[in-house]
Amino acid sequence: MKQIKIYLTIFILVFISLPALACTSFLVTPGASADGSSMITYAADSHIRYGELYYFEGGPKEPGSYYDVHHRWTHEPIGRIPYPDTTYTVVGYINEKQVAIGESTFGGREELVDTTGRIDYATIIHSALMRAATARDAIRIISALANKYGYNSMGESFSIADPYEVWHMELIGKGVDLQFDPDKDKHYNANKGLVWVAKRIPDGYISAHANHARITTFPLEDGKTSITDKNFDKLHDPDIRVIYSHDVISFAKEQGYYEGPDEEFSFSDTYAPIDFGAARFCEMRVWSFFRQVHSGMDKYKDYALGYDLDNRMPLYIKPERKLTLADVMSFKRDYFQDTEYDISKDVGAGPYGKPYRWRPLTFEVDGRTYIHERSTATQQTGFSFVAQCRRDYPGHIGGIIWFGVDDTNSTVYVPMYAGIYHAPDSYAEGNGSIIEYSEDAAFWVFNKVANFAYLRYDHMIDDIQKVQSELENRFMDFVPAIDKAALELYEKDPELARKFLTDFSVKMGNYTVERWEELFQFLMVKYIDGNIKKDKDGEILTNEWGKYPIIEHPGYPDWWLELIIEKTGDQFLYIEDED
């Protein structure tokens, strides 16, 4: 027992020293979207994550076959999970039934990590997508898998959508309580499983989560609108809008986390108490999303800034307009524009307005701790997506994951239909890695553009956004025609329709990478050595003899020059010659 306690302590110390995994997810219900689709987003914001489109082919599985589980944050092998008899095809984070799942890690109480567990948060998502025909099924499956195999991760918020509903689920493990089983002559974890709450976002509303638990109080089980996991037989009753683990409150009381009445129990306040960092680095991103679609969010600004932690922001709001797919993509590119916290405007942005801050997010000066802002758009994104679930189409056609790699500000969201047979080569698993460069991998081509742009961001981002808009608008114009053609094919031959969708998605993905390589070459020519060559419609302008370019030197902004003088005095003073 002493050795196990030491192992747990070491695990926690190693775990909290890993690069912070910070993700941002938005949830849009069908009634809140302009086209009636459910939409969820996800950004895999990690300094070690590689951007690639995962693909899992569904169908019957051989009896006795299994898949290995490697921990998402270390790649340590932690278990083997048997396949079910048959599975659904999964493209990224959406399956052929149009069930989509995204996440953000909130951490919570460190002692609740089950270090003996055989499944982690990433595997539990993909395992649910293999099996779930609806969002509600996914909730049940996530709970069942964790209870069976043990949950070897910290606290998570999940966005779960299908064409009809969007759910917000929050969960955390129950730690390790080793007991000895004399019949099997081995120890087992008596605390195996999860405590969790899932709330359906009311139709017409939106929600979000960004690395902090956001579910507070919830209606207790009444069998009509709220049930526990003991009553999964009522799972698909359309009036049920809250589901939770039967022991979510009793476990908290047993552990000494909560002593009040059940009806006042708050999941977030108990399992992941709010503090300044959780508000400023996490809830601020949610606030910035909400404030763009609702005029009443100023009253929660002090909460988001970490100054008034008692004034909790609601889990969901009703937007003042219907949100389009383009809207949601633009929200992924938020860095607090049009607020006094715009990261591109303060001195940390440098002379060229770079809306990013290298890590760490906190720093000390004269014994006081300060912060850099953390926005939705961030440089260390491995990949991100906007998933659409559309009820008017069969699953293979209705589900689209608009997928992009690297920094959301400079990515391109490419439509990948849920019915495709494989990913584009440029986005496929195995084409490069975070430690292996591949010249035709989407991740590395997009990183070339983004990292070059960091040198002179305020100018280069305009050129990037022109091509970004060109591609995304073209794809959004294409999709209705592709939908129509695919549906006509599907009614005659579903397999042929899937081949058609595969051909479209693959060509658009590979074309995007080719076009981005062309953009990189253009940027290199235009901006090399800090110069800026004049251009028109993407063509470099030359002098009248057509040999040399026309060069501009915009110089540094005045505030930057004044800062240099403030720090150096007369060191760089130009001395005029005397007559």
% of residues, the chain, pLDDT over 70: 96
pLDDT digits (tens, 9 = 90+) for 20-55: 447 999 999 999 999 999 999 999 999 999 999 999
* 328, 447: one domain: no
Give the pLDDT mean for 122-149.
97
Asked whether residue 350 is assigned to any structural domain, the reply reads no
Distance, in Å, from the CA atom of 539 to the CA atom of 373, rounded to the nearest integer, reads 37
- Number of domains observed in the structure of the chain: 2
In a domain, 127, yes or no: yes
Confirm whether 370 is domain-assigned. Answer: no
Residues 100 and 243 grouped into a single domain: yes
Burial of 511 per CB tally in 10 Å (0-12, 13-18, 19+): middle
**Position 5 pLDDT exceeds 50:** no
Q: Clarify whether residues 126 and 271 are in a common domain.
A: yes
Write the DSSP assignment of 379-392 as a string of letters. TTEEEEEEEEE-TT
Alpha helical stretches, state H, 79-214: 121-131, 135-149
Share of the chain above pLDDT 90, in %: 93
Looking at the predicted structure, is the pLDDT value of residue 323 above 60?
A: yes
Tell me: the pLDDT tens digits for 499-544? Answer: 999 999 999 999 999 999 999 999 999 999 999 999 999 999 999 9
Tell me the per-residue pLDDT of 161-220, one tens digit each, with 9 for 90 and over: 999 999 999 999 999 988 998 888 888 898 999 999 999 999 999 999 999 999 999 999
Do 195 and 52 sit in the same domain of this protein?
yes
Same domain for 88 and 212: yes
Residue 284 in domain: no
Per-residue pLDDT, 185: 83
Residues 405 and 446: beta-carbon distance below 8 Å: yes
CA distance 478 to 481: 6
Q: Are residues 328 and 459 in the same domain?
A: no
In one letter, which amino acid is 307?
A: Y
* Cα–Cα distance measured from residue 488 to residue 501, given in angstroms and rounded to the nearest whole number: 12
Domain check: are 85 and 227 in the same one? Answer: yes
**Tokens 């990913």, residue located:** 423
**CB-CB contact of 25 with 123 (8 Å):** no
Q: What confidence score (pLDDT) does residue 184 get? A: 86
Please state at what angle helix 121-131 crosses helix 135-149, rounded to 10 degrees: 130
* Residue 375 included in any domain: no
Does 575 map to a domain? Answer: yes
* Residue that terminates a domain, selected from 334, 361, 383: 334
Per-position DSSP letters for 317-352, written without gaps between them: E--SSPBPHHHHHHHTT-S-TTSTT-TTTSGGGTTT
Give the tens place of pLDDT for each residue, 430-476: 999 999 999 999 999 999 999 999 999 999 999 999 999 999 999 99
Between the alpha carbon of residue 455 and those of residues 105, 232, 353, 428, the distances in Å are 31, 55, 10, 29
Same domain, 325 and 468: no
- Confirm whether 527 is domain-assigned: yes
Q: Is the pLDDT of residue 15 over 70?
A: no
Question: What is the domain range of residue 36?
Answer: 21-275+317-334
Place of tokens 């055989």: 118
Instruction: Give residue 578's pLDDT.
Output: 73
Which pLDDT belongs to residue 579?
63
Question: Looking at residue 183, what is its pLDDT?
Answer: 87
Whether residues 328 and 471 share a domain: the answer is: no
CA–CA distance, 370 with 360 (Å, rounded to integer): 11
pTM for this structure? 0.94
113 in a structural domain: yes
pLDDT band at 378 (very low <50, low <70, confident <90, very high): very high
| 330-376 tens-digit pLDDT | 999 999 999 999 999 999 999 999 999 999 999 999 999 999 999 99
Residue 280 pLDDT > 50: yes
> Of 287, 303, 334, which closes a domain?
334
pLDDT of residue 8: 34
Give the residue among 103, 116, 91, 105 at the shortest CA–CA distance from 41. Answer: 103
Q: Are 52 and 174 in the same domain?
A: yes
Handedness of CA 389, 393, 394, 400 (dihedral sign): negative
Q: Which residues pair with 173 in a beta bridge?
A: 194
The rounded mean pLDDT for the chain is: 94
Q: What is the mean pLDDT of residues 222-239?
A: 97
**Same structural domain, 324 and 449:** no
Judgement on whether residues 327 and 472 belong to the same structural domain of the protein = no
pLDDT of the residue at 14: 34
List pLDDT tens digits, range 290-311. Answer: 999 999 999 999 999 999 999 9
The answer, yes or no, to whether residue 4 has pLDDT greater than 60, is no
Show which of 293, 309, 334 is a domain's final residue.
Answer: 334
- At residue 16, does pLDDT exceed 50? no
pLDDT tens track for 108-119: 999 999 999 999
